[in-house]
Amino acid sequence: MQAMVKIERHGDLAVIEVDNPPVNALSNALRQDLLAAVKAVIADGHLRGAVLACAGRSFIAGADIREFDQPPGAVITLDICAAIEGASKPFVAALHGTALGGGFELALACHARIMAPDGRVGLPESRIGMMPGAGGTQRLPRLVGAMAALEMVSSGRHVAAAEALKLGVLDEIATDLRKAALVRAGALADAGHWPVTSARDVAPVDRAAFDAALGVIRKRARGAIAPVAAGEAIGWALDLPFAEGVARERARAVELRGSPQCRALRHIFHADRRAARLPASSAQAPGVWPIKQVGVIGGGTMGSGITIALLEAGYKVTMVETDLNRAAAAEARIRAVHARHIGTGRLAPTEVEERLRRLTYSYRMERLADADLVIEAIIEEMPAKQAVFRALSPIVRRDCILASNTSRLDINQLADQVDAPERVLGLHFFSPAHVMRLLEIVRADRTSAEVLSTALSVAARLRKQPIIAGVCDGFIGNRILGRWWAQCDFMLEDGAFPEAIDQALEAYGFAMGPYAVADLAGLDIAWAGRKANAATRNPNARDVKIVDWLCEQGRFGQKTGKGWYDHTGGKRAVDPLVHGLVERASAERGTVRRQIAPEETVARVLAAMVNEGCKLLAEGIAVRPSDIDVALVHGYGYPAWRGGPMHEADGIGLDKILATVKIMQQDGPDFLPAALLEDLVATGRSLASLNT
Ligand code: 3H9
């Protein structure tokens, strides 16, 4: 096996180079080798200084998170940081790619930091339920101040080189990184003294402002422990001597490492990456078609959002609308979003101009003759969508991928309209499409592996989180959503009120409860759908009428000022009229209303999700349980720190979930226990065992 750490000599200076692909993660073995190398350089009387650098695409991206379930090992990163910082010669960190977590902490312990122009640094531990444990929370505020450090550790964001330089993290940005680092190490050695981060004081801070910012972090965390713990540790840097702060940080980090939240977030980290891979059966590395020119048909909310996302990713876009007014409305929407980005400083006016130059509007589909990909985003009606696909077929090249943004319609029926149906698939974006991360890629019966693979590469370029779904009503996300929202409606009839259900689910960690979300999204579209599908409804399904009654009164949610709540004056207030309708629904069903505890709300919602998830797996609509977790976390506000419903269900026990489903089966055929769930319980297997 090749050594993971090597020492190169450059005269009287050394370069310690770490080489542990793909991202130089600090494994137990690497930490041992690295500490040995640092000690060897320190002990070598011919060497006056050293550079710490990495081979490959990145500097050390942090501790090896695959080892978090094992004991820490003989050498911890803290030891290496201490050896470097206390060395009798200067160490300079040469950073490229992503210097993250433990990697960044090593750099903070060095006596200077130089970074390549496209490099990034950060302490993203809180995103995986962890916090820095090698002095990061104590050294960072000594360089950048407590407020900036607080923001960095709680958000976990990656900071680009230019900002890092401005903040005081870096000493220099250099294109010829190794050379600049060697020059710096030589200069520090010549001077005979060098800065030691831990010896610096943290700049004085307005303590009340710091505590207020920590309070905001606590509120926004909605139950997530790590961002708050990391923030509190920055406070220790203000209150405690360095050594004490580091000891407390280490103890808390070890605690978090073994926590259920850390396990759940690591599950999501791996699940995200698994979801972006083709299922094993088609893993013969299919080719990826080049995509440069994209057509978007329909400039409504979805079409405009998709266009903004495509422009951000660098594509050339032609938007096709039916008339001047609609095109003007789309343009206004797109310009408004870009103007906001200029206003917040996210984009420079020149960047916006460059993006908008890549966008053309047209009323003629013929303009899409050169497109590599066309995304249809018109009204959610099958005949209209079929007409678009029929019209496109003779215009576009045979290797132009044709996608629909439908959230539930049968993609196969669209593929039937065109030549070469193997290039047709669904690209279901979530609203607002330029903001939401989830992208459901819907594979129709004839979609080819190349087309699927190309869609995954488009998702990566758009920085979206893809999941692959099969064709069914609602695909993965909306089908599961339909079931658990139905359970919420049943709970209203059984005895709950909307605000109690929202509160229970918000306390569980959802960003918003279902009734608050419904009011935000608008009740009218679902109402129209219910009316259109009335004839096909299963007569044995339990049907709750409350939302229809709300819509009949013109209460469509926030846009009309009233829905499940009264939003008059911009506040979400409980409305006695809604309570009256809820009680009427119970009375009409002949139900004696009873108290529904928050625990029952959560148990029924979770059981509905997991049961339907198992049906999706058995039908081959979802590839793996972890894809369902990815969908719910990135598209539906499920708390990431719980790892998604399928992960959570394994933790609770599938037998308990099944017991709840068995009670719910009285609610009709949609809630019959999934055969897969019963089988897993009978054979003592977990959902995680199905993650391939
Ligand atoms: C920490 O450092 C704690 C310390 O304070 C010490 C306390 C004592 N470990 O994402 P990609 C794998 S906590 C193991 O597809 P990209 C990843 O699974 C850690 N493996 O590429 C994937 O493998 P596969 C703090 C890791 O270019 C492959 O590398 N650090 C790790 O889009 C490529 O990854 C973090 O939280 C890891 N730490 O993004 C950083 N990181 O192909 C987490 C990656 O088999 N990582 N892998 O699925 C990231 O944010 C991104 O992976 C990164 C690269 C930006 C580095």
Find the 25 Cα to ligand 1 centroid distance in Å.
Answer: 7
Return the structure tokens found at 570: 């911009």
What pLDDT shows up at residue 533?
A: 80
Do the bridges between strand 465-470 and strand 5-10 make them parallel or antiparallel, or are there none, so unpaired? unpaired
What does the DSSP 8-state code read for residue 404? Answer: E
Q: If DSSP codes are grouped into helix, strand and coil, which group holds residue 470?
A: strand
What does the DSSP 8-state code read for residue 52? Answer: E
The structural domains of the chain, with segments of one domain joined by +, span: 5-207+225-251, 293-469, 476-692
Q: Which atom of ligand 1 is nearest to the CA of 136?
A: 5
Closest Cα to residue 8, out of 36, 48, 58, 50? 50
Q: Mutation test of ligand 1: which of 31, 65, 66 has the most ligand atoms closer than 8 Å to its C-beta? A: 65
Q: Concatenated DSSP letters for 339-355?
A: HHHHHTTSS-HHHHHHH
At CA 373, angle to CA 368 and CA 375, rounded to 5? 85
Which amino acid is residue 211, in one-letter code? D
Q: pLDDT for 86-144, tens place per residue?
A: 999 999 999 999 999 999 999 999 999 999 999 999 999 999 999 999 999 999 999 99
User: Which residues partner with 94 through β-bridges?
Assistant: 114
Supply the CATH classification number for the domain 293-469: 3.40.50.720
What pLDDT shows up at residue 93?
A: 98
CA distances from 439 to 56, 338, 382 (A): 30, 22, 21
What is the 3 state secondary structure string of 522-589?
Answer: CCHHHHHHHHHCHHHCCCCCCCCCHHHHHHHCCCCEHHHCECCCECHHHCCECCHHHHHHHHHHHHHH
What pLDDT shows up at residue 576?
A: 97
What is the spatial distance between Cα 430 and Cα 447, in angstroms, rounded to a whole number? 22
pLDDT band at 526, cuts 50/70/90? confident
Q: What share of the chain is helix, strand, coil (3-state, %, to 5)?
A: 55, 10, 35
What kind and span of H or E run contains 677? helix 675-683
Cβ–ligand 1 contact at 63 (below 6 Å): yes
Q: If DSSP codes are grouped into helix, strand and coil, which group holds residue 444?
A: coil
What pLDDT shows up at residue 25?
A: 97
Question: What does the mean pLDDT of the chain come to?
Answer: 96
What pLDDT shows up at residue 539?
A: 83
105 counts as catalytic: yes
What is the spatial distance between Cα 235 and Cα 245, in angstroms, rounded to a whole number? 9
CA distances from 7 to 47, 200, 522 (A): 11, 30, 63
Q: If DSSP codes are grouped into helix, strand and coil, which group holds residue 186?
A: helix
Cβ–ligand 1 contact at 156 (below 6 Å): no
Cβ–ligand 1 contact at 657 (below 6 Å): no
CA distances from 299 to 329, 404, 464, 685 (A): 8, 14, 20, 47
Cβ–ligand 1 contact at 637 (below 6 Å): no
Contact (Cβ atoms closer than 8 angstroms) between residue 408 and residue 529:
no
What pLDDT shows up at residue 227?
A: 98
Cβ–ligand 1 contact at 293 (below 6 Å): no
What pLDDT shows up at residue 540?
A: 83
Return the structure tokens found at 276: 């972006």
CA distances from 588 to 485, 494, 583, 592 (A): 20, 12, 9, 10
Q: pLDDT for 475-520, tens place per residue?
A: 999 999 999 999 999 999 999 999 999 999 999 999 899 999 999 9
Q: pLDDT for 341-358, tens place per residue?
A: 999 999 999 999 999 999
What is the spatial distance between Cα 139 and Cα 142, in angstroms, rounded to a whole number? 5
Q: pLDDT for 3-60, tens place per residue?
A: 999 999 999 999 999 999 999 999 999 999 999 999 999 999 999 999 999 999 999 9
What pLDDT shows up at residue 1?
A: 60
pTM of the entire predicted model: 0.95
Count of CA atoms in the C-beta half-sphere (13 A) of 54: 30
Find the 108 Cα to ligand 1 centroid distance in Å.
Answer: 19
What pLDDT shows up at residue 284?
A: 59
What kind and span of H or E run contains 306? helix 301-312
Which amino acid is residue 687, in one-letter code? L
Which overall architecture, per CATH, does domain 5-207+225-251 show?
Answer: Alpha-Beta Complex (3.90)
What is the spatial distance between Cα 272 and Cα 634, in angstroms, rounded to a whole number? 9
Which amino acid is residue 364, in one-letter code? R
Q: pLDDT for 265-323, tens place per residue?
A: 999 999 999 999 988 665 457 889 999 999 999 999 999 999 999 999 999 999 999 98
Q: If DSSP codes are grouped into helix, strand and coil, which group holds residue 318?
A: strand
Count of CA atoms in the C-beta half-sphere (13 A) of 538: 8
Find the 615 Cα to ligand 1 centroid distance in Å.
Answer: 32
Please, what CATH class does the domain formed by 476-692 belong to? mainly alpha
Find the 560 Cα to ligand 1 centroid distance in Å.
Answer: 46
Choice among 105, 232, 600, 648 that is catalytic: 105
Q: Concatenated DSSP letters for 609-653?
A: HHHHHHHHHHTTSBS-HHHHHHHHHHHS---GGGT-HHHHHHHH-
CA distances from 450 to 400, 447, 664 (A): 12, 8, 42
Q: pLDDT for 393-432, tens place per residue?
A: 999 999 999 999 999 999 999 999 999 999 999 999 999 9
Find the 131 Cα to ligand 1 centroid distance in Å.
Answer: 14
Query: What is the arithmetic mean of pLDDT over 328-337?
Result: 95
Q: pLDDT for 234-259, tens place per residue?
A: 999 999 999 999 999 999 999 999 99
What is the spatial distance between Cα 549 and Cα 569, in angstroms, rounded to a whole number? 23
Choice among 17, 125, 249, 612 that is catalytic: 125
Cβ–ligand 1 contact at 477 (below 6 Å): no
